[in-house]
């Protein structure tokens, strides 16, 4: 891209002096990329970037962590998880704390690693902590397909899977005054951009599908500033996101999962905002149904941060009792969390 063109856009964004514009990203990778690229420093104070409920670890309720801890303490049972989740606190501490007390908890880099472990250790029962959004659900579907094919009886998943459209509707209807959404590129690669086009029409708010490079994010923000107050939809990530999405991945998800109500940290139940295993595959479920309890650590304001009601700085514990080295709440644990990224980048 012509550097001069980009410079002009940045200049326009820096000098923007119209009504305040509040733009929300709903993808943890966008949250991290915005901080890493120093994007807020390139914008006028009148353009606010707000991190929404797009970090999988941050939106997982405490009941799920408690259930995972319970499982990890059962005889011959090992909980497998991604790194970030291990440090998030439930009501009785985190999986890392439980591990310190002798529980079996193992970090893996891909859900498919659990197949290898289950095959090699037939006397051990494995439970994968299946959290995430539309992006990761196809991998869990593949995991079940493979476990079924191999006849593995010692591998299950505990699901806390979320989907985007309903939580976006919730954020808009519950007064966060959002003027535009940076639509999540990874989610859209699976679902297709069309669902965000439909949301933009329904909610009369602009959506722009974005990639993760600094330049792309600037162009996305510029497009949203121009579209604010008018609505509309754009896909600026066409190299990865088609309007129909990844049909094969969607078929796999459809085969093994069905839409369900889901519980979100700090929000509570949102109808139709999750995915659970279909009844015919419940033999692979490790007790995911009814995990609705959510108890924030004392003083933590994650619930308000996650929906854009306050900025992380407005939490009295931010940078004091709560830092990445000593995270008090989930939004400070994950590298995709709002509080973590505000702290690391000095936003």
Residue 228 or 305 having the CB closest to ligand SF4: 305
Residue 104 or 328 having the CB closest to ligand SF4: 328
Question: Are 278 and 258 in contact, with CB atoms under 8 Å apart?
Answer: yes
Question: Are 133 and 102 in contact, with CB atoms under 8 Å apart?
Answer: no
CB atoms within 10 A of CB 47: 23
Tell me which stretch binds ligand SF4 (CB under 6 A): 59-67, 176-184, 212-220, 329-337. 329-337
Determine, following the binding rule CB under 6 A, whether residue 59 of this chain makes contact with ligand SF4: no
Residue 183 or 327 having the CB closest to ligand SF4: 327
Q: Which are the contacts of 90, defined by CB distance < 8 A and separation ≥ 6?
A: 62, 63, 64, 65, 66, 68, 69
Phi/psi zone of residue 125: left (φ > 0), alpha (ψ -120 to 50 degrees), beta?
Answer: beta
Among 54, 56, 138, 329, which residue sits at the site for ligand SF4 (rule: CB under 6 A)?
329
Residue 64 or 339 having the CB closest to ligand SF4: 339
Q: Closest approach of Cβ 176 to ligand SF4, in Å?
A: 16
Determine, following the binding rule CB under 6 A, whether residue 50 of this chain makes contact with ligand SF4: no
Determine, following the binding rule CB under 6 A, whether residue 95 of this chain makes contact with ligand SF4: no
Query: DSSP letter at 79?
Result: E
Determine, following the binding rule CB under 6 A, whether residue 253 of this chain makes contact with ligand SF4: no
Residue 242 or 323 having the CB closest to ligand SF4: 323
Question: Are 65 and 71 in contact, with CB atoms under 8 Å apart?
Answer: no
CB atoms within 10 A of CB 303: 18
Among 210, 274, 331, 336, which residue sits at the site for ligand SF4 (rule: CB under 6 A)?
331
Query: Among residue numbers 261 through 320, which ones bind ligand SF4 (CB under 6 A)?
Result: 300-302, 305, 312, 315, 317-318
Residue 234 or 301 having the CB closest to ligand SF4: 301
Q: Closest approach of Cβ 313 to ligand SF4, in Å?
A: 9
**Which among 278, 274, 342 has a CA at the least distance from the CA of 314?**
342
Question: Are 262 and 167 in contact, with CB atoms under 8 Å apart?
Answer: no
Residue 200 or 334 having the CB closest to ligand SF4: 334
Query: DSSP letter at 321?
Result: T
Determine, following the binding rule CB under 6 A, whether residue 88 of this chain makes contact with ligand SF4: no
Residues β-bridged to residue 234: 208
CB atoms within 10 A of CB 335: 17
Q: Closest approach of Cβ 337 to ligand SF4, in Å?
A: 7
Residues β-bridged to residue 90: 93
Q: Which tokens belong to 161?
A: 């899977």
- Distance, in Å, from the CA atom of 316 to the CA atom of 161, rounded to the nearest integer, reads 30
Q: Closest approach of Cβ 62 to ligand SF4, in Å?
A: 13
Residues interacting with ligand SF4, by CB under 6 A?
Answer: 300-302, 305, 312, 315, 317-318, 322, 328-329, 331-332, 339
């Amino acid at each position: 891209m012509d550097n001069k063109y980009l410079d002009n856009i940045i200049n326009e964004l820096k000098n923007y002096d119209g009504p305040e514009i509040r733009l929300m990203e709903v993808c943890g990778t966008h949250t991290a990329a915005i901080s890493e690229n120093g994007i807020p420093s390139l914008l006028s104070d009148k353009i606010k970037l707000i991190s929404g409920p797009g970090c999988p670890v941050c939106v997982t309720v405490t009941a799920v962590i408690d259930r995972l801890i319970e499982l990890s303490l059962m005889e011959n049972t090992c909980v497998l998880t991604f790194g970030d989740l291990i440090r998030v606190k439930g009501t009785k501490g985190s999986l890392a704390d439980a591990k310190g007390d002798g529980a079996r908890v193992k970090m893996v880099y891909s859900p498919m690693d659990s197949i290898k472990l289950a095959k090699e250790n037939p006397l051990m029962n494995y439970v994968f902590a299946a959290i995430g959004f539309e992006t990761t659900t196809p991998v869990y579907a593949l995991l079940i397909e493979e476990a079924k094919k191999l006849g593995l009886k010692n591998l299950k998943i505990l699901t806390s899977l979320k989907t985007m459209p309903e939580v976006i509707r919730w954020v808009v209807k519950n007064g966060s005054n959002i003027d535009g959404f940076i639509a999540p590129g990874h989610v859209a690669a699976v679902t297709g951009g069309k669902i965000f086009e439909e949301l933009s029409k329904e909610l009369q708010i602009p959506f722009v599908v974005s990639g993760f490079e600094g330049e792309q994010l600037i162009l996305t923000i510029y497009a949203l500033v121009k579209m604010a107050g008018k609505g509309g939809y754009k896909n600026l990530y066409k190299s990865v996101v088609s309007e129909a999405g990844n049909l094969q991945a969607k078929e796999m998800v459809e085969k093994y999962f069905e839409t369900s109500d889901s519980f979100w940290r700090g929000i509570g139940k949102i109808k139709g905002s999750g995915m659970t295993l279909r009844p015919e595959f419940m033999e692979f479920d490790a007790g995911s149904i009814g995990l609705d309890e959510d108890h924030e650590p004392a003083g933590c304001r994650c619930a308000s941060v996650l929906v854009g009601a306050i900025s992380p700085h407005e939490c009295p514990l931010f940078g004091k009792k709560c830092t990445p080295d000593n995270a008090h709440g989930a939004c400070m644990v994950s590298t995709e969390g709002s509080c973590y990224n505000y702290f690391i980048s000095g936003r």
